[in-house]
Amino acid sequence: MSLNTKVCKSPSGFAIPALGLGTFEASKDDPMKCSRAVEGAIRAGYVHIDTGAFYGCEEEVARGIANSGVSREKVFICTKLYCASPTFQ
């Protein structure tokens, strides 16, 4: 099941699910809170996770995806680079 029926097209042609789970400050009080939220959201049908290097929860996002049982290839992850690291990988 997917909650994301609408998509937005990026200038580079990616289809981005319109609805996503934001992870800003998701692990502020409890580091495991973010991974549980990501896991639960994916199990509920979300396929778009919004995060950022500055949020400091990349490991928790990865753990939540892994624990969800859904393959990484089926999850769209939107991230942001902190202004001090303007390189493309």
Each residue of 38-47: pLDDT tens digit? 999 999 999 9
Sequence spans of domains, the chain: 7-78
Q: For 57-68, b where at least 16 C-beta lie within 10 A, e where not — what string?
A: beebbebbbeeb
Each residue of 73-86: pLDDT tens digit? 999 999 887 776 66
The model carries a pTM of 0.83
> Which member of 27, 47, 55, 60 is catalytic?
55
The C-alpha atoms of residue 29 and residue 74 are separated, in whole angstroms, by 29
Active-site residue 55, yes or no? yes
Residue 33 Cα distances to 2, 44, 69, 70, 79, angstroms: 22, 16, 18, 19, 19
pLDDT of residue 88: 58
| Number of alpha carbons in the 13 Å side-chain half-sphere of residue 34 | 23
